[in-house]
């Protein structure tokens, strides 16, 4: 059963509330031109009024998470493998991945039924012979505490990862050489790409995470850092199984939620922001989700 079918029951109520919030947000989610959005500071949103009922949004988000988790549980293993491969092929062959020099990516967790990133991580850490673009620098998440605090730390091999209490592989704070791993917030060169996980996504770039606020907080901080340094914002690309792509108006959003620039699902790449259109246009790789 598709996520959309599962969502039909709750759709009317959720959509009514979400649409109200979205209407409020539409004016401020993508208010920038291609260049200004990439250089702008998050304070662009500061003047907007908050959504009228934050408690309702929290419970709508919780309900949607439950529905998507259950849709993911019914995904047959062979279909998941097929979708994992299709998504990773798209990423690995994309111009924005090939040209990226430094990136943040999540280490996919099988029990969370996340889109796999193992092939992508392997390609970054051990590029295929003949890869002319040179080795990329990789940062992966490490949860520091339950107050939405996550860091992205540099790793150079998969052996740098150890399972945390949630059974997600993450880097130790200190490397084998005894030195603290580089934190992306303290690195002198900016990352150009984030591969972002989540539970649900739509074609407007809205994203529903697992509820920790880890990504929203870090992405906001990173975007603010880019604005301060006057460097380009990284491209934010979400990876989604087909069951995780929902109609617009379904994902409840607040001012904290950071939209993504592009969405990759097994059907292709959906460029959403002007920055994503620029990154994708040269290869004519765009396709719409079916």
Ligand X SMILES: Nc1ncnc2c1ncn2[C@@H]1O[C@H](COP(=O)(O)OP(=O)(O)OP(=O)(O)O)[C@@H](O)[C@H]1O
Residue 210 binds ligand FFO (CB under 6 A): yes
Residue 114 interaction partner, one of ligand FFO, ligand X, none, beta carbon < 5-8 Å per kind: ligand FFO
Stretch that binds ligand X, among 172-180, 212-220, 222-230, 242-250 (CB under 6 A): 212-220
Smallest gap from residue 23 Cβ to ligand FFO (A): 28
- Of 24 and 69, which has the nearer Cβ to ligand FFO? 69
- Of 116 and 266, which has the nearer Cβ to ligand FFO? 116
Stretch that binds ligand FFO, among 11-19, 80-88, 93-101, 205-213 (CB under 6 A): 205-213
Residue 260 binds ligand FFO (CB under 6 A): no
Residue 42 interaction partner, one of ligand X, ligand FFO, none, beta carbon < 5-8 Å per kind: none
Find all residues with CB under 8 Å of 47, minimum gap 6, and list them: none
Instruction: Rule CB under 6 A: choose which of 94, 108, 204, 244 binds ligand FFO.
Output: 108
Q: DSSP string covering 182-231, please?
A: PBGGG-SSPPSEEEE--SEE-TTS-EE--SS-HHHHHHHHHHHHHHHHT-
Region at 172 (left for phi over 0; alpha for psi -120 to 50; beta for the rest):
beta
Inter-residue contact 255 to 15 (CB < 8 Å):
no
Alpha helices in 74-117 (DSSP H): 77-93, 95-98
Q: Which residues in 60-99 contact ligand X (CB under 6 A)?
A: 61
- Of 39 and 210, which has the nearer Cβ to ligand FFO? 210
Instruction: Rule CB under 6 A: choose which of 116, 209, 249, 259 binds ligand FFO.
Output: 209
Residue 106 interaction partner, one of ligand X, ligand FFO, none, beta carbon < 5-8 Å per kind: ligand FFO
Q: For residue 103, what are its two tokens? A: 């990136």
Residue 149 binds ligand FFO (CB under 6 A): no
- Of 199 and 280, which has the nearer Cβ to ligand X? 199
Instruction: Rule CB under 6 A: choose which of 10, 95, 127, 213 binds ligand X.
Output: 213
Short-list 203, 191, 226, CA closest to 99: 191
Smallest gap from residue 197 Cβ to ligand FFO (A): 4
Rg (Cα) of the chain, in Å, rounded? Answer: 18
Number of H helices, E strands in the chain: 8, 11
Smallest gap from residue 109 Cβ to ligand FFO (A): 4
In whole angstroms, give the CA distance from residue 83 to residue 265: 8
Instruction: Rule CB under 6 A: choose which of 20, 28, 44, 109 binds ligand FFO.
Output: 109
Instruction: Rule CB under 6 A: choose which of 11, 69, 220, 286 binds ligand X.
Output: 220
Q: For residue 11, what are its two tokens? A: 């759709």
In whole angstroms, give the CA distance from residue 121 to residue 191: 15
What residue ranges in the chain does DSSP mark as E strands? Answer: 102-105, 137-145, 149-155, 161-163, 169-171, 193-196, 200-201, 207-208, 235-239, 262-265, 268-271
Instruction: Rule CB under 6 A: choose which of 96, 194, 215, 222 binds ligand X.
Output: 215
Question: Which residues of the shown chain bind ligand X in the complex (CB under 6 A)?
Answer: 61, 148, 198, 208-217, 220, 256-257
């Amino acid at each position: 059963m598709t996520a959309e079918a599962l969502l039909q029951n709750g759709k009317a109520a959720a959509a009514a509330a979400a649409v109200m919030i979205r209407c409020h947000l539409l004016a401020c989610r993508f208010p920038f031109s291609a260049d200004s959005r990439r250089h702008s500071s998050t304070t662009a949103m500061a003047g907007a009024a908050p959504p009228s009922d934050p408690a309702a949004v929290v419970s709508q988000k919780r309900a949607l998470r439950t529905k998507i988790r259950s849709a993911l549980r019914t995904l047959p293993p062979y279909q998941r493998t097929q979708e994992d491969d299709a998504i990773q092929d798209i990423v690995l062959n994309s111009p924005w991945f090939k040209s990226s020099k430094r990136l943040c990516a999540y280490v996919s967790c099988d029990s969370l039924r996340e889109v796999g990133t193992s092939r992508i991580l392997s390609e970054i850490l051990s590029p295929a012979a003949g890869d002319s673009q040179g080795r990329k620098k990789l940062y992966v998440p490490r949860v520091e505490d339950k107050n939405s605090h996550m860091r992205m730390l540099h790793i150079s091999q998969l052996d740098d990862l150890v399972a945390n209490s949630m059974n997600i592989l993450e880097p130790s704070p200190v490397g084998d050489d005894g030195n603290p791993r580089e934190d992306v917030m303290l690195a002198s060169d900016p990352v150009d790409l984030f591969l972002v996980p989540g539970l649900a996504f739509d074609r407007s770039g809205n994203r529903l995470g697992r509820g920790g606020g880890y990504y929203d907080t870090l992405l906001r901080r990173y975007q603010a850092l880019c604005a301060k340094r006057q460097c380009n914002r990284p491209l934010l690309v979400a990876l989604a199984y087909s069951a995780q792509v929902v109609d617009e108006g379904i994902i409840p959003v607040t001012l904290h939620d950071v939209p993504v620039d592009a969405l990759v699902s097994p059907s292709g790449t959906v460029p959403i922001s002007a920055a994503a259109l620029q990154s994708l246009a040269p290869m004519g790789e765009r396709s719409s989700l079916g």
